[in-house]
């Protein structure tokens, strides 16, 4: 059984897509996609040997070697031209790591129509990257699992505009304002206020003042919604 988090990622994979799952670990996501008949062909990429071996083992156990190619490679280097990959999933990493993977081999994105990204933290870095690289966020989801809250961003090529609040919290998620969304941002504001309190006690160096201002600004953005 797949986690709710990865199941939500899977729900955005178009039927018949050719998927590359980067940082696949046990290759749970590609195995699920093939078993469900959503995709026929997938690549599972891993940069670390341990998880790469786990992926190989899992794919073999499931008898999916004809459908899933497991590669030991850094980021998008796992994708070959002949694979015909049109959809990329990257889940379970920080937003900045996801962005650095996308930026490292931009030529690998040329044939790709859809990116499904699940940052554990800092989704805003992905939204900023999307804005700067002509990707449009066509959908977003937010789910809670084991007391953690995860955001899933779905990107296709296109133009969009985002306000500062939308970069931080997500245009679609803001529109929806689900219970999980409200919980996440209530928690964040509480946390920021605690950090602010501890900063008040610190010396007023320019860095501390800047940090304080940034926190106040973020709190104001979130409290407004």
Q: How far is the CB of 166 from ligand SAM (least distance, A)?
A: 25
Q: Does 92 bind ligand SAM (CB under 6 A)?
A: yes
Site for ligand SAM in 17-46 (CB under 6 A): 22-25, 45-46
Q: Does 51 bind ligand SAM (CB under 6 A)?
A: yes
Q: Which is nearer to ligand SAM, 71 or 171 (CB)?
A: 71
Q: Does 95 bind ligand SAM (CB under 6 A)?
A: no
Site for ligand SAM in 54-83 (CB under 6 A): 74-75
Q: How far is the CB of 193 from ligand SAM (least distance, A)?
A: 29
CA triple 162-165-166, angle to 5 deg: 40
Q: Could you give the CA distance from residue 225 to residue 221 in angstroms, rounded to a whole number?
A: 7
Sheet holding 87-93, edge to edge: 68-72, 41-46, 18-22, 87-93, 114-119, 148-157, 135-145
Longest CA pairwise span in the chain (Å): 62
Is residue 206 classed exposed, middle or buried when 0-12, 13-18 and 19+ CB atoms within 10 A define those classes? Answer: exposed
Site for ligand SAM in 151-210 (CB under 6 A): none
Q: Which is nearer to ligand SAM, 90 or 162 (CB)?
A: 90
């Amino acid at each position: 059984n797949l986690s709710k988090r990865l199941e939500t990622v899977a729900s955005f994979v178009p039927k018949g897509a050719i998927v590359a799952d980067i940082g696949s670990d046990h290759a749970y996501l590609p195995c699920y996609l093939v078993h469900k008949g959503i995709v026929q062909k997938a690549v599972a990429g891993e940069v670390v040997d341990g998880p790469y071996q786990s992926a190989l083992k899992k794919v073999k156990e499931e008898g999916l070697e004809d459908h899933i190619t497991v590669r030991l490679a850094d980021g998008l280097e796992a994708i070959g031209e002949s694979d015909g990959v049109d959809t990329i999933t990257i889940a379970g990493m920080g937003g900045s790591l996801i962005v650095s993977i996308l930026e490292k081999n931009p030529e690998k994105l040329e044939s790709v129509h859809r990116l499904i990204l699940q940052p554990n933290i800092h989704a805003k870095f992905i939204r900023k990257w999307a804005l700067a690289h002509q990707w449009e966020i066509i959908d977003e989801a937010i789910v809670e699992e084991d007391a953690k809250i995860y955001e899933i961003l779905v990107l296709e090529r296109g133009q969009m505009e985002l306000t500062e609040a939308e970069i931080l919290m997500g245009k679609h998620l803001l529109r929806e304002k689900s219970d999980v969304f409200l919980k996440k941002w209530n928690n964040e504001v509480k946390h920021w206020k605690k950090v602010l309190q501890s900063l008040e006690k610190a010396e007023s160096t320019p860095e501390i003042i800047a940090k304080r201002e940034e926190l106040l600004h973020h709190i104001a953005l979130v409290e407004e919604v």
